[in-house]
Chains A and B, each alone.
Chain A
């Protein structure tokens, strides 16, 4: 698992990456009530705002951690946004991206570094 300073996690699956938000981020957001995901087939650039999350507190944007193509989205969390609070680092992944450039991964944190980052 790799982690970004935007509190996203990335998990490799056969050359693609599943992306979601960390348990820490889900806790900070509070109860999630709305998720809007990108479309399968979208070509995205790193730092594009591609997911909107609304919690009981506020709206947040989730940035793409990589350049690439969206190859799958987890529609189940659009139907049941509360899953993001229940299992943020498991079933409640957001999208799967096929990267065109994996070099940003070198800058992302491992679990130990992320734990230090969030204090």
Chain B
């Protein structure tokens, strides 16, 4: 095996990726598999039709302990964490004073503590942010575990063959389970729009666990390339593309991710960074909005494409933030931000692709319905 590319970290599954013939690329400071010999299109379809195994060990795993870690975390996220039942997980985000999004994350209630999974590119900043604001909590960064995602209609049968209790879990349930591969931290979730699981496994067992899953004939390894087209078909945001420090939750159409107790009139209203702007936008709306976009024809409309109200208009009314070809919907798809008066589903606008105005229609997301086991 060659020396690592400069300063890039490797996950505990690096040797497995190389054995499987992955094409490795730099991603968020790690050498990660962008695709395997199957290729992005087939990997995408395989995940939708059988089960895909993803290495997401580059993401940050953090345990938060304290007297009331749920209430402590609520100081830096606009979600109801105190209302999150033990054994359940919830999507959340850290906000800044301007109401922007510092990172999005998953929060699991494990009884006397919380378990968080944060994005790879943001994890150092997230940990510093938590250490600065959650001085009443102990923050343990988990460095000795891999994180795998098993996604698709065959995921339940595949994981249940190794961990029989997995089948009884519902979407966003979490469990801590002893297994032949050490203690597994399982959630029934993922980021593909498919039913499936994310599984934290001790590094010492990670390769054996991944190989045991890959030995099941419905399971294939899937790279970051297909992960991106899968999440986009599911209408899910990629932090850094679709949401960032300059986008607010209401602009990003993430109203569903805030629970009543933290909103105006709720028991624990506000009290998070940017609350004034975010709660005002809940009342009054925002001047722009993240929408789904379906380009006419077959050409993908990629991130950075400027959007216009007409073929002649000189000033853009928005921009594409993610765009790709959707292998399952068999057409190109994008998401992006548009001025609020162009955000209604069905609005026809234009994207500037290679100097030509190409028609594109504002569309509901997800582009492909999710198949979560609720």
A residues apposed to B, CB below 8 Å: 30-31, 33-34, 36, 52, 54, 56-59, 81-82, 85
Instruction: Indicate if the CB atoms of B299 and A30 lie closer than 8 Å.
Output: no
For A58, the chain B residues whose CB sits under 8 A away are 302
Instruction: Indicate if the CB atoms of B302 and A56 lie closer than 8 Å.
Output: no
Q: A56-B324, A82-B41 are in contact. List 4 more A-B contacts (CB 8 A).
A: A30-B35, A30-B225, A31-B40, A31-B42
The prevalent SS among residues of B at the interface is: mixed
Q: Which residue of B lies closest to A56 (CB)?
A: B40
Q: Does B26 contact A (CB under 8 A)?
A: no
B residues apposed to A, CB below 8 Å: 35, 39-42, 225, 229, 298-300, 302, 324-325, 332, 354
Tell me the smallest distance from the CB of A52 to a CB of chain B, in Å: 7
Q: Which residue of A lies closest to B331 (CB)?
A: A33
Q: Which residue of B lies closest to A58 (CB)?
A: B302
For A81, the chain B residues whose CB sits under 8 A away are 298
Instruction: Indicate if the CB atoms of A30 and B300 lie closer than 8 Å.
Output: no
CA distance A85 to B35 in the complex (A): 15
Instruction: Indicate if the CB atoms of B298 and A33 lie closer than 8 Å.
Output: yes
Instruction: Indicate if the CB atoms of B299 and A56 lie closer than 8 Å.
Output: no
Instruction: Indicate if the CB atoms of B302 and A30 lie closer than 8 Å.
Output: no
Instruction: Indicate if the CB atoms of A56 and B41 lie closer than 8 Å.
Output: yes
Task: Return the contact of A59 from the options B35, B39, B41, B302 (Cβ within 8 A).
Answer: B302
Task: Return the contact of A31 from the options B41, B299, B302, B332 (Cβ within 8 A).
Answer: B41
23 cross-chain CB contacts under 8 A? A30-B39, A30-B40, A30-B225, A31-B39, A31-B41, A31-B42, A33-B41, A33-B298, A33-B325, A34-B300, A52-B354, A54-B299, A54-B300, A56-B39, A56-B40, A56-B41, A56-B324, A57-B40, A59-B300, A59-B302, A59-B354, A81-B298, A85-B39
Tell me the smallest distance from the CB of B354 to a CB of chain A, in Å: 7
**Residue with the highest number of chain A CB atoms closer than 10 Å, among B35, B41, B324, B332:** B41
Instruction: Indicate if the CB atoms of B35 and A34 lie closer than 8 Å.
Output: no
For A33, the chain B residues whose CB sits under 8 A away are 41, 298, 300, 325, 332
For A36, the chain B residues whose CB sits under 8 A away are 299
For B42, the chain A residues whose CB sits under 8 A away are 31
For A85, the chain B residues whose CB sits under 8 A away are 39
Given contacts A30-B40, A31-B40, A57 and B225 within 8 Å (CB-CB): yes
Instruction: Indicate if the CB atoms of A54 and B225 lie closer than 8 Å.
Output: no
Instruction: Indicate if the CB atoms of B298 and A34 lie closer than 8 Å.
Output: yes
Closest 8 pairs between A and B when the two form their complex, measured CB to CB: A33-B325, A56-B40, A31-B41, A34-B298, A34-B299, A31-B39, A54-B300, A31-B40
Instruction: Indicate if the CB atoms of B325 and A54 lie closer than 8 Å.
Output: yes
Q: Which residue of A lies closest to B225 (CB)?
A: A56
CA distance A59 to B229 in the complex (A): 16
**Residue with the highest number of chain B CB atoms closer than 10 Å, among A31, A36, A56:** A56
For A82, the chain B residues whose CB sits under 8 A away are 41
For A59, the chain B residues whose CB sits under 8 A away are 300, 302, 354
For A54, the chain B residues whose CB sits under 8 A away are 299-300, 325
Tell me the smallest distance from the CB of A6 to a CB of chain B, in Å: 18
Q: Which residue of A lies closest to B354 (CB)?
A: A52
CA distance A75 to B188 in the complex (A): 45
Tell me the smallest distance from the CB of B127 to a CB of chain A, in Å: 32
For B225, the chain A residues whose CB sits under 8 A away are 30, 56-57
Q: Which residue of B lies closest to A36 (CB)?
A: B299
CA distance A85 to B229 in the complex (A): 19
Q: Which residue of A lies closest to B302 (CB)?
A: A59
Tell me the smallest distance from the CB of B2 to a CB of chain A, in Å: 15
Q: Which residue of B lies closest to A61 (CB)?
A: B354
CA distance A54 to B295 in the complex (A): 14
Tell me the smallest distance from the CB of B317 to a CB of chain A, in Å: 23
CA distance A31 to B325 in the complex (A): 10
CA distance A81 to B225 in the complex (A): 18
CA distance A30 to B42 in the complex (A): 11
For A57, the chain B residues whose CB sits under 8 A away are 40, 225
Tell me the smallest distance from the CB of B367 to a CB of chain A, in Å: 15
CA distance A31 to B35 in the complex (A): 11
Q: Which residue of B lies closest to A54 (CB)?
A: B300
CA distance A57 to B354 in the complex (A): 17
For B325, the chain A residues whose CB sits under 8 A away are 33-34, 54, 56
CA distance A56 to B227 in the complex (A): 12
Q: Which residue of B lies closest to A82 (CB)?
A: B41
CA distance A12 to B229 in the complex (A): 39
Tell me the smallest distance from the CB of A55 to a CB of chain B, in Å: 8
Tell me the smallest distance from the CB of A58 to a CB of chain B, in Å: 8
